[in-house]
Amino acid sequence: MTLLLGAIAVGDFIHRITDALLRSELLPVGIRMKAMRLTGYDVPSDSCLWAGAVLRSKNLSIGSHVFINVGFFYDGYEKLRIDDNVRIGQYVRVITATHEIGPPHQRALVEVTGKPVAIGFGSWVGCGVIILPGVNIASGCIIAAGAVVTKSTEPDGIYAGIPAQLVRKLTDAVVDITPPRTTGGLRQDKLTC
């Protein structure tokens, strides 16, 4: 039950305080991830969320081996699902709420409408990408830096631009476009925060 205090819902106020503490640069990432799990976020121990992330609700699920870089923003209105092995660059914004188009005297109607967003298995979302309501980024996609994704994608494609368009299809031959991190000459696939 949410208590109302003036015009502020206490449950929402408590979440905003928790969210502000979790996004602090002063909080080491290992402690941040443990604190998120303790406070009810659906995030496994092998995923990593860097500082500066704004999570406006807990209405999200994060898969295994997910890395989310600094400055991530999720508006929290509808569900956000991030599947396993996803990489998200700096300052990515996921928007699940919008407004219907109104008449000339007020183009954005007051009522909010929302649609969930999903980011599929193994995808890579580049720096500064904006993902709009109702988008499903299919598995294996790369979304180029600065793109605005307005429509769902097909699997295994590179998408770029405003609005994001398919630039090229990826094949199984394109497995890894970055050199592997190594430790003592051995490939290191485990995500470490």
Rounded distance, CA 168 to CA 30, Å?
37
- Among candidate residues 15, 65, 99, 105, the one labeled active-site is 99
Residue 170, token pair as written in the block: 């990826």
DSSP state of 12: H
Rounded distance, CA 121 to CA 33, Å?
21
Q: Is 99 a catalytic residue?
A: yes
DSSP calls for 117-178: EEE-TT-EE-TT-EE-TT-EE-TT-EE-TT-EE-S---SSEEEETTTTEEEEE--TT---SS
Residues carrying an active site annotation: 99
